[in-house]
Structure 1
Amino acid sequence: MTIHPRLSADRELAIRLFDQLAEQSRDEPGVTRDAYGAGEQRAHDLISEEAAELGFIRAVDAAGNLLLTLPGTEPGLPAWVVGSHLDSVPHGGNFDGAAGVIAGLAAVAGLKRAGRLPRRPVIVVATRAEESNWFPASYIGSRTLLGLLPPELLDLPRSDTGRPLRDHMRELGLSPEGVAKGERLLAPERVHGFVETHIEQGPALEAEKIPLGLVTGISGSFRYRKARCLGSYGHSGAVPRRHRQDAVFAVSDLIQSLDRLWSELDGAGRAATITFGEVFTDASQHGFSKIPGELNFCLDVRSADRDLLDDIHARLMAFVAEIETRRGVRFALGERTGSQPAVMSAELLRQLGSIADRLGIPHLSMPSGAGHDAAVFANASIPSIMLFVRNQNGSHNPHEAMRIEDFHAVATVLTHLILE
C-alpha cells in the first residue's frame, strides 16, 4: 500500500461540523440528539448539506439511515462503507457517534483537496437509533440498513414519549412498512469493508498516551431491563429475621454473588463486565419503617466471549433459585435482550496498523467493551473494523473532551485506507 505523507483528512471541516452539531443540539448540560426525533434529524440534515457540497450522491432508506456515496474511479467495485450514528444519549457528549460520520466526510474532503479519488466507491453512512436508551433494542439503525430488523421491534415504545418506533418513523416521512419487509439500499455483497471511527469510551488510550486504538472485537451482552424482586412488606420492628421476605436483602445477595463471580472470572483472565445500572424501591410504597416488599433493578452483562456470556447467565439463574429458596422471595427478571459479540477483520487490523506505522501515529490493539454498529456488519460477514480516538472523560456524558489533533490523526489513517 502506497502512503502519501502530505495527504490528510480535512481538519477545518471537522472542527466546523463538530461546532455546528454542538450548537444545534445543545441541551444543558451537554447535547441531546433524540433517536427518530428532532435532534437526530437536524444532525442528519446538517451532514446531508455538507455532503452535497463535497459531491456525494444522497440516499435515505426506509428507516431513515443516510447513505452518501462518492463514486470511485472504478464504480463497479464493492464499496468502502464508513460511518457511525448521529443520535446521542440525553445530555450526552458531542463526539460519541458523530466522530465516525464526520471522519468519513473529512477523509473524502482531504482526498478531494489533494486532487485524488479512491478506486472504490466510498459510502458514508449515518445510522439511526444506535443509543438503546431511546428504544430498548440494540443497533436499530444498522440492522435496518442491512434489512435485518425483526418487524416486531417496530412496536417498541420510545422511552420519553411512550409512542412506538413505527409512529416516530412515520412522523419523519419514513416507511416502517418497508422496514418490516426487510427493504434495504445496502447489499452486503456490495461492501468491500466497513470502518467505524468512534471515541474510546474508557480510559486506556489516555492512560497510555496513545491517540489511536485498533479494535479487535466488540462485546455482546445479555440484559434484563425491567427486573423485579418480590417479597413481602412488613413492619421494620415487628418481623424477626427468620420470618422476613426482604427484597432489598435478596437483591443485595444477588449483587454480591455476581460480584464474587466477576472477581473469579477477572482473576482467570476471562473478560466481562457486570452492571446493575438501576436499583430502586417503589416510591409509592416504601417507607422508613417498612420492610421493602419489592425492588426493581436492571442488569447489563457484557463480554466478547459468547460462551462466557452463557456461563454467566447459567450462574445467574442458579443464584436466583438459591436466593429465592433461602429468602422466601420471587425474582421476575422480565424479558431478556442483548446482542452478539463480534470479531473484527484481522486483515483490516493489519492494513490499518501498517498505515499508522508509516504515518508515525502510535496505536494500540484493544477490545471494545461497549456495543457499536460495526458488530452488525461483522456478524453479517462483512469485513469490519473500528478505529478508536483517544478521549478524555469517558462518553455518554457532557464532559467528552476528544482532542481535535487526535481525531485528525485517526481520520488521516482512514483517508489513506480508502485511497488504497
Structure 2
Amino acid sequence: MIEPDIKLAQQLFEQLRAESFDGIGITRDTYGAGEQRAHDLMAQTARALGLEVRTDAALNLYMTLPGSDRNAPAVLTGSHLDSVPRGGNYDGAAGVVAGLSVLGGWVAAGLQPHCDVTVMGVRAEESAWFPVSYIGSKSAFGLLPAEALDIRRMDTGISLSEHLRQHGGNPEGIAAGEAYLSADKIRCFLELHIEQGPVLVEEQLEVGVVTGICGSLRYRHAQVFGSYAHSGATPRSHRSDAVVALAEVISRLQQHWANMEAAGHEMTLTFGQVNTDVQQADISKVSGLVNFSIDMRSRSPQALALMDQHLQAAIAQATQTHGVRFELGERTGSKEAEMDAGLRNIMQLAAKELQLSHRELPSGAGHDSALFSNQGIPTAMLFVRNGNGSHNPDEAMDLQDFAGGARVLARVMAAQAGLV
C-alpha cells in the first residue's frame, strides 16, 4: 500500500499555523483573509502535484486526481478550512491536509485510480461567523436558502453575499439553487477530523470510527425581560429579576438532562452565552434583562424535542414565579446523520490491519459529513486523537497519530477508487 506523504502534511500544517496565528490562537475567518489564505495554500499545493483545481459558486475548493474512467462516480474526501475565532490549527484543516497527503503519495508512485478522486476544501463550516449551518456544503448541492445570503457576519456586519463577491464568489448562482455536486455522481464522501472531545485521549486510543453525527436545536438570540430596580430598596417579593429567573430555568434543565441521560438518552445541553446589558446592569441594580443562547445536540430528534418541551415548561414556571417575560427568538438547527455501515467496517478493518488502537464513537459536533450523508451519499468519518479538545488554541494532535489516521484514510480511498 502506497504511504501518504506525511512530510508534505507537516509542511502544510506549519504553513497554515504561520499564516493563521492571531497572537493567541488560530483565526481563519469564514469568507475572510484567514480562510482565503488557507484555500490559496491548498490550491497551490494541489497544482504543484498536478491535480485539477476548481471552485464553485460558494468558492468550495475541488482538487482532483483524474481517474481512468472520468464518468464513474467520484470518491470525495476533505473537510473545512475555516476556524472559530482564536481556535486551533487542526480542526477541519487536518481532513484537507490528509486528503492531499494521500494523493501526494499516489502521484509520486505514478498511480491512477479507476474513478476521479477529489479532495474538497469546504467553505464556511463554522457557524461562529454566520449563524447558518454548513454554508459551503449546502451551497455545493444547491440547498442554501436564498435568504441566508442576507445574513451579516458577526464581526464585520457585512452580508454573506457581499463577502462572497469580495472573494470572487457567485451569490446569484447560489440564490438560484445552482448545484455543483450531484449525489448520483459521488461514490462516497470520507472525512478525517480531529476528535473534539476527550474520549480517545482518555481511553488511549489512536483513532475512532464515527457512528453518527448529532443534530442540533438552537436558540441563538434568546432574552429574558424583568424589571430594573434598586438592589437595596426592593424586597424579594417585589422583584422581577431576570438573572434569577434564567438561573432557575438553567438549573431545571440541568436536572432534566441528568434524568434523560439516566433514562438512556444521548445528548448535550449548553448555555454558551449568558450576559446582562452592559449599558444598564450594575452592582446596585436588580437585573431587568439577560441575553442568552441555548445549544442542544443529539442523534435522536425525539430527545431534542423532549428537551425543548422541558425548556418550555421551565420557562412557563419561571415566568409565573418571577413575573418576567422570555423571548427565545428564532429556532435553528441541523439534521442528524448516520454514517454508512459498510464504510465503517472498512475503516475498522484498515485500523486493525495497521495495528492502530481504535473504537467506534458518535460525534457530538456537527460536520459537513452530515450534509453529504443526508443527500443519500455513503459517508464515513474518522477521528484522530487530539488533546485539549477543540475550538481553542491548545489543540494537540500528534503528527504520528495523524499519520496513522491518514493511512487508514488512504486504504479506504484506495478500495473505493479501484486501486486495490
* Same fold? TM cut 0.5: yes
Distance 1:146 1:56 in 2: 23
Q: Answer yes or no: is 1:308 the counterpart of 2:303.
A: yes
Distance 1:120 1:17 in 2: 26
Give the equivalent residue in structure 2 for 1:341.
Answer: 336
Q: Answer yes or no: is 1:37 the counterpart of 2:32.
A: yes
TM-score (norm 1): 0.97
Give the equivalent residue in structure 1 for 2:280.
Answer: 285
Alignment of 1:271-282 (within 5 A): 271-282=266-277
Give the equivalent residue in structure 2 for 1:412.
Answer: 407
Q: Which amino acid aligns with 2:264?
A: G
Distance 2:9 2:247 in 1: 47
User: What SS does structure 1 have at the residue aligned with 2:67?
Assistant: coil
1:165 to 157, 160, 166: 160
Q: Answer yes or no: is 1:149 the counterpart of 2:144.
A: yes
User: What SS does structure 2 have at the residue aligned with 1:269?
Assistant: coil
Distance 2:179 2:38 in 1: 22
Distance 2:353 2:117 in 1: 23
Distance 1:28 1:196 in 2: 29
Give the equivalent residue in structure 2 for 1:19.
Answer: 14
Give the equivalent residue in structure 1 for 2:215.
Answer: 220
Alignment of 1:3-402 (within 5 A): 4=1, 7-402=2-397
Q: Is the 8 A contact 1:147 1:182 kept in 2?
A: yes
Distance 2:309 2:113 in 1: 49
**Cα displacement (A) at 1:77:** 1.4
**Cα displacement (A) at 1:194:** 0.5
Distance 2:355 2:72 in 1: 30
Once the two structures are overlaid, the 10-residue window that deviates more, 160-169 or 310-319, is: 310-319
1:169-218, Cα deviation, whole Å (9 max, x unpaired): 01111110000011122111100110111100011111111111100000
Q: Which amino acid aligns with 1:104?
A: G
Distance 2:87 2:377 in 1: 30
**Long gaps (5+) in structure 1:** none
**Cα displacement (A) at 1:243:** 1.8
**Cα displacement (A) at 1:242:** 1.8
Q: Which amino acid aligns with 2:166?
A: E
Distance 2:396 2:348 in 1: 25
**Long gaps (5+) in structure 2:** 416-420
User: What SS does structure 1 have at the residue aligned with 2:271?
Assistant: strand
Q: Which amino acid aligns with 1:89?
A: V
Q: Which amino acid aligns with 1:393?
A: N
User: What SS does structure 1 have at the residue aligned with 2:373?
Assistant: helix
Distance 1:104 1:302 in 2: 29
**Cα displacement (A) at 1:114:** 3.2
Q: Is the 8 A contact 1:119 1:419 kept in 2?
A: no
Distance 1:382 1:307 in 2: 24
Q: Is the 8 A contact 1:127 1:145 kept in 2?
A: no
Q: Which amino acid aligns with 1:217?
A: G
Distance 1:272 1:416 in 2: 32
Aligned residues: 415
Distance 1:116 1:359 in 2: 21
